[in-house]
Amino acid sequence: MEVLKTVLIVVLILISIALTVIVLMQEGKSAGLGAISGAADTYWGKNKGRSMEGRLVMATRIMVVLFLAISAALNIGSF
């Protein structure tokens, strides 16, 4: 049981580092101000889910869910 806890802690640390890097790679919301002039109707605006930014958003969501699940599992074991 102690080995599983150690493995989960190591995985949690790796997810934390990956989550930090992924969040820092994302563009800020102010970069989307081109929508005021109608630039949102471009190819990249319509296909944002398939772009690099869309993949980063999806990876962020997955990492957050994993982070919360492992954190909860480690917390339950501490009682």
Is the predicted pLDDT of residue 60 greater than 90, yes or no?
yes
**Residue type, position 70, single letter:** I
Residue pair 60/26 in contact (Cβ under 8 Å)? The answer is yes
Domain that holds residue 77: 49-79
In this prediction, residue 30 carries a pLDDT of 66
The number of domains in the chain is 1
1 found inside a domain: no
In this prediction, residue 1 has a pLDDT band, given cuts at 50, 70 and 90, of confident
Q: What is the pLDDT of the chain when averaged over all its residues?
A: 82
- Give pLDDT tens digits for 21-54: 999 998 876 655 555 555 555 555 556 667 888 8
Alpha-carbon dihedral sign for residues 26, 29, 34, 35: positive
